[in-house]
């Protein structure tokens, strides 16, 4: 049995062949309906065939073109290039173009196969944010408190060595930018500006001092006393440098302090004359802790730093230093608990930016366990995190998982190498913008409102 289908309405009932014929009145009624349907279809076709006015071709008028013809004058200044940088990675690309290979690689590189650094950055990528909706985020406050004082942003500048080697403004640019942003600045024992000069450069800033304990305790004590007299309120002792890590980029580049003028460096300088001009026309590199040194970085570390450190030395520091004491280089839950038991006011979960032990624990992965352990101990010690941070979203993720504060090292050094003080300002601005946007999209208006519920670690 076959069926006939009305092409004007495919969904209309069909009539099987051989069925009883319709009555005349039904046929007439059906025919009238069919005529009306045909008329409607024709009208629809006419409407669909018409071209909307907005889609009709015409000769453009000058009045229409004028608003579109706003050609900007090309800008090639360093300030313009910094404004165009939207991410820390953009600043890194600028830094690489402006800085000779040896100092750039000293900043950019890590130990051995650089597995730790790569994993640390990947850890921040392997998360999922979990936003809340219908929250008032018209005003986002990035302010927080760390070690008893307010900070306008939830991060500070980490201690970095040989900083004026990366760019001639060095610690002066970093400390002044930090003071302007209302965040702490940490001067390294291996910094290329003295404790007193940094304090004078940023008298209104919050300055911290990072200490490597030397085999010569008298010299360590001298540094501690100088830091106290200069107004530093926090001492950050680094404990993950019993010996120097195998930083292979430095070995391959023949990295020395100060940089040596070899044939390779002279050729490299020809592409970066501004760096060499600044380096050669400013005061030679000096250090916060020694007047002069010539040799490789690894030799310097191995000759100065004490491989015999124990928790008894931490007890000595606690008795000697009257301000806040923070221990940097914590990589296990057990050690976090121990240093707090020995008087530390805070811990920095850090593997030295991946520059010491390759395949070391990743601070971001360690963070939830450390915060849970200290909370179980009813400790109010601050938990600070560094290593791998390259965006404001990374910082927000760390804060959500329990960090009280974070530190940036490479992220600010890329800005320094890209544009001196202005580059550091831009790095801080980029991170702050990232954080405000991320918090608003999460539905959070204050740092204190971030919780582990806002972040999910993705399974591998």
Q: How far apart are the first and last CA of the chain?
A: 60
Token representation of residue 145: 């408190």
Going by their DSSP bridges, the two strands 127-129 and 455-457 should be labelled as: antiparallel
7-42 burial code (b ≥16 CB/10 A, e <16): eeeeeeeeeeeeeeeeeeeeeeeeeeeeeeeeeeee
Task: Say whether 352 is catalytic.
Answer: yes
Task: Record the tokens describing residue 349, joined without a space.
Answer: 């979960």
Q: Are 102 and 441 in contact (CB under 8 A)?
A: no
Catalytic residue among 282, 342, 352, 365: 352
**HSE-up of 81 (CA within 13 Å, CB side)?**
17
Collapse the DSSP code of 312 into the 3-class scheme (helix H, G, I; strand E, B; otherwise coil) and give the result. Answer: helix
Task: Give percent helix, percent strand, percent coil of the chain, each to the nearest 5.
Answer: 50, 15, 40
Task: Spell out a b/e string for 275-288, using b for 16 or more CB atoms within 10 Å of the CB, else e.
Answer: bbeebeeeeebbbb
| Residue 118: count of CB within 10 angstroms of its CB | 14
The set of catalytic residues is 352
């Amino acid at each position: 049995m076959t069926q006939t289908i009305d092409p004007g309405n495919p969904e209309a009932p069909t009539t099987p062949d051989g069925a009883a014929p319709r009555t005349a009145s039904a046929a007439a009624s059906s025919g009238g309906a069919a005529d009306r349907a045909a008329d409607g279809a024709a009208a629809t076709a006419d409407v669909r065939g018409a071209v909307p006015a907005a889609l009709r071709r015409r000769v453009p008028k000058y009045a229409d073109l004028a608003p579109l013809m706003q050609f900007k004058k090309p800008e090639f200044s360093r300030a313009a290039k910094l404004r165009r940088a939207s991410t820390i990675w953009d600043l890194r690309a600028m830094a690489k173009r402006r800085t000779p290979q040896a100092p750039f690689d000293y900043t950019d590189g890590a130990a051995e196969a650089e597995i730790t650094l790569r994993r640390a950055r990947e850890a921040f990528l392997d998360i999922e944010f979990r936003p809340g909706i219908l929250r008032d985020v018209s005003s986002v406050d990035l302010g927080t408190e760390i070690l008893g004082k307010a900070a306008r942003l939830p991060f500070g500048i980490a201690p970095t060595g040989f900083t004026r080697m990366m760019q001639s403004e060095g610690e002066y640019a970093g400390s002044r930018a930090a003071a302007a942003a209302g965040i702490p600045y940490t001067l390294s024992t291996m910094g290329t500006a003295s404790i007193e000069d940094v304090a004078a450069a940023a008298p209104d800033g919050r300055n911290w001092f990072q200490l490597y304990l030397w085999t010569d305790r008298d010299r360590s004590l001298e540094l501690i006393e100088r830091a106290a007299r200069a107004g530093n309120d926090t001492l950050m002792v680094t404990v993950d440098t019993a010996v120097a890590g195998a930083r292979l980029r430095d070995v391959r580049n023949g990295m020395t302090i100060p940089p040596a003028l070899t044939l390779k460096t002279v050729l490299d300088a020809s592409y970066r004359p501004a760096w060499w001009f600044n380096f050669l026309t400013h005061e030679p590199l000096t250090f916060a802790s020694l007047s002069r040194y010539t040799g490789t970085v690894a030799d310097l570390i191995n000759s100065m730093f004490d491989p015999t450190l124990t928790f008894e030395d931490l007890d000595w520091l606690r008795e000697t230093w009257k301000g806040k004491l923070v221990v940097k280089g914590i990589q296990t839950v057990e050690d976090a608990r121990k240093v707090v038991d020995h008087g530390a006011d805070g811990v920095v979960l850090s593997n030295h930016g991946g520059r010491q032990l390759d395949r070391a624990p990743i601070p971001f992965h360690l963070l939830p366990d450390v915060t849970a352990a200290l909370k179980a101990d009813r400790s109010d010690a601050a938990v600070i995190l560094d290593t791998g941070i390259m965006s404001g979203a990374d910082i927000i993720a760390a804060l959500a998982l329990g960090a009280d504060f974070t530190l940036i090292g490479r992220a600010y050094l890329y800005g320094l190498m890209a544009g001196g003080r202005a580059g550091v300002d831009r790095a801080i601005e980029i991170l702050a913008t990232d954080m405000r946007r991320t918090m608003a999209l999460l539905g959070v208006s204050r740092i204190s409102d971030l919780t582990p519920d806002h972040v999910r670690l993705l399974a591998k």
